[in-house]
Amino acid sequence: MKEYSNKDLIVYWEPERCSHSAICLKRLPSVFDVDRRPWVNINAASPEEIIKTIDECPSGALKYSLPEGSSVNPDLAKGPGSRDAASNAAASLVRIKVIRNGPLVLEGPYQLQDVDGSIKQETGKTSLCRCGLSEKRPFCDGTHYRKGWKVDS
């Protein structure tokens, strides 16, 4: 896990969970730019804008938290991208969203078990492969897009 921080916000990135939807790149290119190193510039937008964008991350690869003394209203940092999403009262419902020609997005408290019964992931948000082409199954890695997989009209 990679971490990017300033006095108001901490952004976490788990590259192995990323489904490469590019939502972050499209919504906030000043902050998220894969051609720059580091690719996350946490000072390029307001913490509130970054939080709003991370809340839209379908795979849960991007998360955030507020450091001690942050000037950000804590109520704004309780969305699905919050590192503490599992403990939020609003996270009592599991939502499954089908993305057109893409993955299934799970959001909420859940437990994903491997074929041997070991727990792979719990709570938060993640994208599950529908195309069968992902190299990170059961998780989506964006291969459906690169291979032109289409199932939904």
Mind listing the pLDDT tens digit for each residue in 20-37? Answer: 999 999 999 999 999 999
Return the DSSP state at 104. E
Q: What is the pTM of this model?
A: 0.69
The SS3 call for residue 106 is strand
Task: Centre a 10 Å sphere on the Cβ of residue 141 and count the other Cβ atoms it contains.
Answer: 21
pLDDT the model gives residue 89: 46
- Which of 103, 107, 106, 153 has the alpha carbon at shortest distance from 130? 103
pLDDT in tens, 48-71: 999 999 999 988 899 999 999 999
pLDDT in tens, 90-130: 446 788 999 999 999 998 888 888 888 788 777 778 899 99
* 60 Ramachandran zone, left/alpha/beta (phi>0; psi -120 to 50): left
User: Residue 50: which H helix or E strand, with range?
Assistant: helix 47-54
Domains of the chain: residue spans and CATH: 2-84 (3.30.70.20), 89-146 (no CATH)
Pairwise CA distance, residues 17 & 79, whole Å = 18
Give the pLDDT band of residue 88 (cuts 50, 70, 90).
low
Pairwise CA distance, residues 81 & 17, whole Å = 13
